[in-house]
Structure formats: C-alpha cells, structure tokens
C-alpha cells in the first residue's frame, strides 16, 4: 500500500524530481504507518489485494481466450455446408462458495458464444448450449479454478 500512496503522491505532484520523491516517500510512509496503527490495517492485506488483482487480470485473459475459442467454434458451425448441431441442456455444480463468484461464472459462460446460463440456483447451473461439444468439461473449466482461487 505504501507504493500506492507514493504513486498517488507522484501523480498529484505532476512533476518528478529527487525532492518530490523524498518528500513523497516520507509522506507515504507516514500515511501507511497511520493506516496500520489507527485503522487496524494489516500488512497481509497488501498481499491479498495484489494476489486478487493478478488473479482478476488472469481471469480476464482466460475469459478473452475462451471467448475467441468459442467464437471460432460457432463460426465453424454456422458456415458449414451442412449444419449438424446437437443442442443440449446440462446441469452441474461448480463448487463456488460466494454469490459474486457464482454470478461471475454465469456471466462469463453467457458471454462466450454458443452457451447461455438459463438458471442459477445456489450452486446448480442450468446451461443451454448450441452444441454439446461446446460445453464439454465446463465443470472443470479454467473459469471455475480461477474463481475458486479468488475466493480463498
């Protein structure tokens, strides 16, 4: 958090010099100390925030990659000479604990072309898919693994 305070200091000072850095480091250290002592801020919170930030970025990249893969799969289905699809509805449990993670997974699944989360009750998902091959292994997807890490 010290570095966040220092970064904010540098942004608001609108110039970069040794004096600004030294004063910024002193002020940032004082604000960080105040937060730790008087606001019961703990050092481990920094680690948790940074870890969740990196996991969130990783989740966004996985979502982007899965969306590209699903777009290609749906593109192949649509532009075949003969359309052979087997729409299906599957039910499964993801094992996610928090409502935020459950909704994030449902939205991510719906954002990827070819699949729509029809209902979500507790941890039971009902997913409609354009083709059964598009949702194979959805119970063990990268989305769920990353969301479980974020929940920790």
Q: Which residues of the chain have pLDDT under 50?
A: none
What predicted TM-score, i.e. pTM, was given to this entire model? 0.69
| Residue ranges of domains in the chain | 2-38, 44-151
How far apart CA 134 and CA 69 sit, in angstroms, is 10
Give the pLDDT confidence of 35-57 residue by residue, as tens digits: 888 877 776 666 777 788 889 89
32-49: b (≥16 Cβ within 10 Å) or e = beebeeeeeeeeeeeeee
Run of H or E residues at 90: strand 88-93
Beta strands 115-121; 124-129: pairing state: antiparallel
């Amino acid at each position: 958090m010290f570095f966040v305070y220092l970064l904010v200091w540098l942004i608001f000072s609108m110039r970069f010099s040794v004096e600004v850095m030294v004063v910024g480091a002193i002020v940032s250290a004082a604000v960080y100390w105040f937060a730790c002592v008087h606001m019961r801020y703990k050092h481990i919170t920094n680690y948790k925030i940074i870890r969740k930030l990196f996991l969130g970025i990783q989740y966004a990249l996985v979502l982007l990659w899965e969306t590209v893969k699903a777009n290609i799969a749906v593109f192949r289905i649509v532009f075949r000479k003969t359309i052979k699809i087997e729409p299906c509805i599957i039910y499964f449990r993801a094992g996610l604990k928090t409502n935020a993670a459950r909704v994030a997974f449902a939205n991510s699944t719906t954002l990827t072309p070819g699949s729509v989360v029809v209902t979500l009750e507790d941890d039971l998902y009902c997913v409609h898919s354009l083709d059964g091959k598009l949702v194979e292994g959805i119970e063990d997807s990268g989305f769920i693994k990353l969301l479980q890490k974020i929940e920790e």
